[in-house]
């Protein structure tokens, strides 16, 4: 991991097409801006972890949970 010290207004360039700009420093938080190509995914780690955990919980839902939801919605499927 590369660790840098930057001041507000200073930039970091990653590769040829990603620029990280330090916008503001206040107390124990900083605001950054990221310029990157449209195809580059930029996500906050805590949001990514929350979505991953929610997906794992949904994938491990029991069949009885799915049946309860279908029943509550009035969905009936033909037997397989």
Question: Taking the domains of the chain in order of start, what are their residue ranges?
Answer: 1-38, 42-72
What pLDDT, on a 0 to 100 scale, did the predictor assign at position 80? 61
Specify whether the CB–CB gap between 10 and 30 falls below 8 A. no
pLDDT tens digits for range 21-48: 999 999 999 999 999 999 999 999 999 9
Helical H runs in 1-80?
45-59, 63-73
> Under DSSP, is residue 31 helix (H, G, I), strand (E, B) or coil?
strand
Quickly state the pLDDT bin for 10 (edges 50, 70, 90).
very high
pTM of the model: 0.64
CA–CA distance, 36 with 52 (Å, rounded to integer)? 24
Determine the pLDDT at residue 77.
67
């Amino acid at each position: 991991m590369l660790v840098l010290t930057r001041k507000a207004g200073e930039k970091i360039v990653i590769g040829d097409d990603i620029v990280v700009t330090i916008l503001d420093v206040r107390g124990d938080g900083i605001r950054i801006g990221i310029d990157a190509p449209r195809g580059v995914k930029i996500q906050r780690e805590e949001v990514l972890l929350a979505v991953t955990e929610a997906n794992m919980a949904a994938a491990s839902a029991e069949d009885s949970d799915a049946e309860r939801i279908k029943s509550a919605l009035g969905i009936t499927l033909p037997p397989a």
